[in-house]
Amino acid sequence: MAIDYKNQPKVDFAVFPNKYAKTDRHPAEVGKIEFTREFMKVMVDEVREGRMPILKVAMWNRVSKAGAPYKNFRLELEHKREDAPVQKTEEKKDDGLDLPF
C-alpha cells in the first residue's frame, strides 16, 4: 500500500538570524515551532503502538519580502516503508566457476 505523502501531517517553521545576539554564546539563529494537534496525535499514536517517532527535517534558504535571509524548515514523521515483495528468480546453473555471487 502506497503512502499518500500529500496528506501526511507536516510542521513548517522558520529560523531567523538572532538580532539580539551579543556574544558567541548567544544563538546565531532563533525561531519557534508550533505543533498542530494533528501532528501531535500522530506522534502519540506512534508511541502508543510501541514505536519511537522519528522526524525527518528539510531546510530551504529563503529571503523575506523585507529582504531578510532566513531558513525555512519542514518536519515530517518518518514512515517505515513496507518491504517490497521479493521476486523469485530462476536458479542459476552451476557453470563450474566458484564465484561468490
Q: What is the pLDDT of residue 1?
A: 54
Q: What is the pLDDT of residue 47?
A: 93
Please state whether beta strands 29-31 and 55-63 pair in parallel, antiparallel, or not at all (unpaired).
unpaired
Regions of the chain where pLDDT drops below 50 = 83-86, 88, 101
Q: How many CA atoms lie within 13 Å of 74's alpha carbon, on the beta-carbon side?
A: 9
0.85 cut: is pTM over it?
no
pLDDT, position 8 = 80
